[in-house]
Amino acid sequence: MIPTLLRVKAIVAAHPYISSGVAIAFVGSILWFANSRDNNSNSEYATVTRGTVSQTVSVTGKVVPASEADLSFDRSGRVGGVYHAVGDRVAAGTLLVSLESGELSAQLEAARATVRAHEARLAELLRGARAEDINVSEVEVRNAIDDVVNDLKSAEIKADDAIRNKVDQLFSNPRSNSPQLKILTSNSQLEIDIEAGRVVVEAMLESWHASLSNAFFNANMYQYIGEAKANLRTLQRFLDQIALAVNTLSPSSTLSQTTIDSYKADTLAARTNITSELSGLTASEEKLANAESKLALKKAGSTQESLAAQQAEVDAAKANVSNLEAQLGKTVIRSPIAGVVTKMEAKRGEIAVSGSDLVSVISDARYEVEAFVPEADIAKIRVGNDAEVTLDAYGSGVVFEATVVKIDPAETIIDGVATYKTALQFKKYDARVKPGMTANTDIEGEKREDVLFVPGRAISQKGTDKTVQVLEGETVREVKVETGIRGSSGDVEIVSGLNEGDKVKI
C-alpha cells in the first residue's frame, strides 16, 4: 500500500497542472484498485495433499444380548419336570422344562417296533426265500399229499362200509346186476330207482377201488380228489333215497319196530360218514393247494408289486414314528442358545398352556449394539465394517471394538425419519458390558488410502461438472476435476484433474 502512495505523489509532482481535486479523486481510485488487488492476494488457498480419506458414521445405540429367546410349549399339558431356575447358566440344547409324556412315549415305542417288523418283512422279500424256507414248504406239500392220500383211502373204506355193511341188508343179491329191495314201500318208482342205483353204486365202488389200488400219489392228486368227491356225492344221493324208503316203513307181522329202528340207525350212520368224508377231503384239498401255492411263491421270488406294497408299509410306519417324535418333541423346552435363564414361570404339576411364555434365556457370551442409522448415512457402511464403541457407564476414554454384523433391509420409521436397524457385535468378551447400556458408536465406513484430497468447499458444481480454482503464479485458473468419496471431516478424494502440491482456492 505504501509503494502505491509514493507512486501517486510522484505523478502529481510531475504534473503541476493537475488540480488538487482531480488529484484527490485520482488517488482515491488508485487506492481502491490497490486495496482490491491486495485483498485478492490475501484470499485463502489449500494445498492438494496425499493421504487417507475415510467416512465415519456416528450413532447412538443400546447394548442388547446377541441372542434372546422367549420359550413356550406348542401343546398344553401338565408340567412333569423343571430343571433350572432363574440365574442358571445353560448350554445350547439344555433341557429346561418337560410335560408328562408317558402315553406318547409308549405309542412311539410301539410305532418303532412296527417299523422294524415291516423292514424285516421287506428285507425278507428282497432277499428271496432261503433254501431252508423252501425245504420247509416242500415238507408241508408232502404232508398235505399224505393227508389227501389218507383221506382218499378213508373215504373209499367208509363208502364200502356204508353200502356193503349198512345198506346191503335191505337187498337180496345186492352185488348182482338185479338186486331186489326186501322192504316194501308205497312208492314203486322209488323202489325201482333204489334197485337201479344199487347197480350203479356197485360198479362205482369196484372202479374206485381199482383206481386207488393202482394210483401213484405223487402224480396229479387233484384227479384222484375229483374222482373221490364225485363218488361220494353219488353215494349221498343214493343214501338219500334209502333214507326216504326206510323212514316210510311201518311195523308188520314180518317187520318189527326194532328192525325198522336198526335200518334207520344204519342208514343215518352211513349218510353221516359219507358227508364227513366229503368235508374232510375238501379240507385236505384246500390244504394241499395252499401248501403248493406257498412253495411256488417262494421259488418264484417276490414280485415288484409285492415289494412296492411292502415298501409302502415301511414308509407309512416311519411317517407315524416321525409324527409321534414331533409330538413328543413338543413336550419339552430346551434352550436354543448358551446363556442365562432370566425367567422361569413353570411349576411342576401345573397345567402349561400352549403358546404361553414360561422361560426366557439371554446369551451371556456376546452382546451386540443395536443402533438405527439414518437414511443419509446407511450407504456409507456395510456388514464387516469396524467400529469403536464407548459406553456412557465408563466414559469416552474406554473404547470397545466392534464389527457390523447385520443391517436390516427394511426401514424403521423413527420420528418421521427413515432409519435402518444395524447390529454391531463386540469383538471380545468383556464382563463390563451389560445389556441396556447406552452405546456411542463410530462406524468406520469406506476408506481410501494414499489418495489426493482437498477440502470439500473448494469444489464447485457447474451442471454435471465439478471444478476448482487453481492458483498458478499470480493468476487463478478453473480446472475440471473428478472426485471420489467425501470423508467425514469434509475432505473430498480427487481422482483426476489435480496434482499433489497444487493450490486451490477455498
For residue 74 the three cell numbers come to: 406348542
Q: What is the reported pLDDT for 445?
A: 81
The architecture of the domain spanning 71-97+331-362 is Beta Barrel (2.40)
For residue 282 the three cell numbers come to: 375238501
Q: How far apart are CA 362 and CA 67, in angstroms?
A: 6
Per residue in 389-439, pLDDT (tens digit) is 999 999 989 999 999 988 999 999 998 899 999 999 888 878 898 888 999
Largest CA distance in the chain: 206
Q: What is the reported pLDDT for 126?
A: 76
Q: What is the reported pLDDT for 399?
A: 94
Angstrom distances, CA of residue 360 to CA of 66, 84, 300, 339, 436 = 14, 11, 63, 10, 16
Instruction: Name the class of domain 49-64+366-505.
Output: mainly beta
**Domain ranges (residues) in the chain:** 2-42, 49-64+366-505, 71-97+331-362, 107-128+305-328, 131-301
For residue 152 the three cell numbers come to: 382218499
Q: How far apart are CA 322 and CA 326, in angstroms?
A: 6
| 3-state per-residue secondary structure call for 207-236 | HHHHHHHCCCCCCCHHHHHHHHHHHHHHHH
Q: How far apart are CA 352 and CA 229, in angstroms?
A: 72
Q: Give the residue ranges of the chain where pLDDT is below 50.
A: 1-42
Q: How far apart are CA 348 and CA 364, in angstroms?
A: 27
For residue 123 the three cell numbers come to: 428285507
Secondary structure letter of residue 128 according to DSSP: -
Q: What is the reported pLDDT for 129?
A: 63
For residue 349 the three cell numbers come to: 404339576
**Pair 401, 391: CB distance under 8 Å:** no
Q: What is the reported pLDDT for 174?
A: 95
